[in-house]
Amino acid sequence: MKKPELLVSVRRFEDVIPLIEAGADALSVGDERYGLRNAGNFTVEQIDETIKLAHERGVKVYVNVNSLLHNEELDALDDYLKHLEQVGADAIVFGDPSVLATAKDVALGLKLHWSMEMLSTSFDTANYWASKGAKRAVLARELTIDETIENRDNTEIEVEAQVHGATCIFQSRRDLVSAYFGHQGKDMEAEDTGMERSMFLKEEKRRNITYPVYEDAHGTHIFSAEDICMVDGLADFVTGNIDSIKIEGLLHTSEYIIAVTKIYREALDLCVSDMDAYYDKAADFLAEIEAIQPKNRPLNTGFYYKPPIPYMT
Amino acid sequence: MSTIIIPDQAKKKIITRKPELLAPAGSLEKLQFAIRYGADAVYIGGQAYSLRANADNFSYDQMREGVQFAHERGAKVFVAANIIAHNEDLGGMREFFQELYNVGIDAVIVADPALIQACKQAAPNLEVHLSTQASTTNWRSVKFWKDEGISRVVLAREVSMREIYEIKEKVDVEIEAFIHGAMCIAYSGRCVLSNHMAMRDSNRGGCAQSCRWKYDLFEDGYDFEAAEKAGEEGKALFGEGDEQYTMSPKDLSMLPYIADMIEAGVDSLKVEGRMKSIHYVATVSRAYRMAIDSYFEDPENFKVKQEWIDEVYKSAPRTLSTGFFYGSPSTEEQIFGEPDHPIPYDFAGLVMEYDEATGIAVLQVRNHFKIGDNIEFFGPDTFFQQKVEQIWHHVTDEPLDAARHPMSLVKIKVARPVKAFDMMRKEI
């Protein structure tokens, strides 16, 4: 049994200290240029400052460098990685092999977390990236709890799993919402299609299932209709020796993320110190989150207990 | 018929090495047709690890037969093993790759390093190509994979022509790029819509094409419960009568720009469509074969012929576009509303025999056709149009007014010589 790190993605710089005070052990941040689906976009200066504030308080900072890069973005990558190493980022999160290769060339001291989102599925693949220098596997959100623990048991590197929040279910390089506005005769350039507009899609045959969607410099992103919530299921992560559990702040308010972090902190501490007491209180923790949960974001347990059918029949 | 504009081909760089034309083969029959109609190589699926779980995937015996057929004609056979493996898939991979090597497969197309490693261990001499599912979009990643022993990288569909030039300039490795067919609207593999909407794992062959479904687009704060009470459920950013939101891309065709693809130094030109018909495979392979051969006959004076473009449209279920090659696709590259391009032809018959003396061909019927229909015969060396004038029963020679039964044999009077394996399509 092991006490997992509680990792939270940060929506805005002002939230850094409140999140640390709420109990985060580690923070996830990113600059839109190289970071995909950051809970909020930080400038490089804000990342530097976050690292400083966090380190003063014994908290780690992982920086998203997880985009799929095109040639022209490689030019400035060297300097960016050198900079992150110099300011003491505790790790960078990568999804494109070019980032790993560049880090090995110019910023050997940077710890690498492998995260290809839906592609980070098996321990063989995790071990492959470990052999290339990755120190952590950020697992796909589509795995069952058994697969998650099996991956932990069969890799030498750390394993991170998401326990709360929205998950990305689709990324296109195309600006699909703008294209739709254009098709409807709207001025594509004038329409706000960013995260803050909070748009969502509803499939025509399904009622009350809404998938958030936004566009940014990396294209179009679509998210799960529900927020994962494992606050009453932390025992599996703790007994399964998962190294880091993540609260994804994306698409939520600062107040919500801070409140959820507090609840998870308490739940996790109790789970580790007194499992029986945790089981007794698990439903209460869930109720606390339900009480602040936005109505259009139902909670569920993702794929942890419900794998999709792998093949067509 | 075509919406593609033939580009100005004034600036020309001369290339002497012919790229490979790589066609999809969802079955042994399709493999044979792809090669007869001009493909230099085909890619197929085995019975495991392939993303097209309900294509008519190959058994090892069928692979052996396919490999023999291909190798006798100087063509290659690749196997797509492009799933993203879960732990339960890891067992058996080594035996699978070993078997592919023994069968004589020329290369495997793999996306997941778990499978790359298994292949390298089990069949070190089997060539590994990195699938487009790995979304390789830059030269540094291409170089990474080359250093890992990958002999060919299939680029992400999001890579532009200019980026291909840079990649070829910076890294000495074979590059494969899609030139024709349907495309994922997402970065290939970076989509689990099916997992959420259909409980099927997209990256293990279960893609339900949820991207092409219809959606309504809403703005923040829309309260479904309140709206439902007020009888407003379903009210979106755009109202009734507006086309719904969808994410259906037009299909890709680089036929009008084939010279650009050749001159960028792309080593293998890939056609999508393991699930598509033999008519599609034959039509598309033939059209690109003619275009590529024509280029190399006289690169300096090469001109794209409208008839090639018209040909590929005869098997195209959607309007064709140029994807990301010349910039990020916009509204015009998307299909909203009804499918925009119903195929104007049906594959109607396959030539089995031809009697030169009588000018009568035996056809295997693939779709209903009748006297008076406008038809075309085409084959590797055949192309002509005519009307159906006379049909007879294959055995009794009884005259027929129509050929009604798929896979039955009929005789038909043809205007010009045909050969076995030529095809007949009928105008709808």
Which positions in chain B touch A177 (Cβ < 8 Å)?
A: 217, 245
Which of A303, A310, A258 minimizes the C-alpha distance to A162?
A303
B170–chain A nearest CA distance, Å: 11
What's the pLDDT at B413? Answer: 96
**Adjacent-strand bridge partners of B353:** B362
Using a CB–CB cutoff of 8 Å, tell me whether B328 touches chain A: yes
Percentage of chain A surpassing pLDDT 70?
98
B147–chain A nearest CA distance, Å: 11
B234–chain A nearest CA distance, Å: 8
Tokens linked to A23: 């109990």
What's the pLDDT at B54? Answer: 60
Cβ(A308)–Cβ(B206) below 8 Å: yes
Q: What is the ipTM of this complex?
A: 0.96
Which of A257, A180, A164, A255 minimizes the C-alpha distance to A215?
A180
CA distance A162 to A173: 25
Using a CB–CB cutoff of 8 Å, tell me whether B261 touches chain A: no
Coil vs helix vs strand at A14: helix
CA distance A302 to A163: 9
Q: Name the CATH superfamily, with its identifier, for domain B345-427.
A: Translation factors (2.40.30.10)
Using a CB–CB cutoff of 8 Å, tell me whether B229 touches chain A: no
Please give the average pLDDT of every successive group of 10 residues along chain B, which has 428 residues. 44 76 97 98 92 76 98 98 94 95 98 97 98 97 98 98 96 98 96 93 91 88 57 60 89 97 96 95 98 96 96 93 94 86 90 97 97 97 97 96 96 97 96
Cβ(B142)–Cβ(B136) below 8 Å: yes
What's the pLDDT at A187? Answer: 83
Which positions in chain B touch A189 (Cβ < 8 Å)?
A: none
What's the pLDDT at B13? Answer: 67
What's the pLDDT at A274? Answer: 97
Task: Give the E-state strand segments of B289-420 in sequence order.
Answer: 320-321, 334-335, 345-355, 360-365, 369-370, 374-379, 382-387, 391-393, 399-400, 402-403, 409-413
* Contact call for B328 and A172, based on CB within 8 A: no
What's the pLDDT at B14? Answer: 63
- Segments of chain A scoring below 70 in pLDDT: 207, 308-313
* Contact call for A208 and B215, based on CB within 8 A: no
Phi first, then psi, for residue B425 (nearest 5°) are -120, 155
* Contact call for B186 and A172, based on CB within 8 A: yes
CA distance A77 to B107: 34
Residue B257 one-letter amino acid:
Y
Closest chain A residue by Cα to residue B192: A169
What's the pLDDT at A310? Answer: 62
* Contact call for A170 and B224, based on CB within 8 A: no
Cβ(A292)–Cβ(B34) below 8 Å: no
Closest chain B residue by Cα to residue A311: B206
Of B117, B145, B218, the CB nearest to A128: B117
Cβ(B155)–Cβ(B264) below 8 Å: no
What is the 8-class DSSP label of residue B212? G
Cα B403 to chain center, whole Å? 29
Show me where the domains of chain B are located: 20-187+248-335, 216-246, 345-427
CATH architecture of the domain formed by B20-187+248-335? Alpha-Beta Barrel (3.20)
3 state SS for A192-216: CCCHHHCEEEEECCCCCCEEEEEEE
What's the pLDDT at B53? Answer: 64
* Contact call for A203 and B233, based on CB within 8 A: no
Domains in chain A: ranges and CATH: 5-166+226-300 (3.20.20.70), 171-222 (no CATH)
Of A171, A200, A206, the CB nearest to B187: A171
* Contact call for B195 and A200, based on CB within 8 A: no
Using a CB–CB cutoff of 8 Å, tell me whether B159 touches chain A: yes
B358–chain A nearest CA distance, Å: 48
Cα distances from B186 to residues B116, B137, B195, B249, B262, in angstroms, run 23, 14, 14, 10, 26
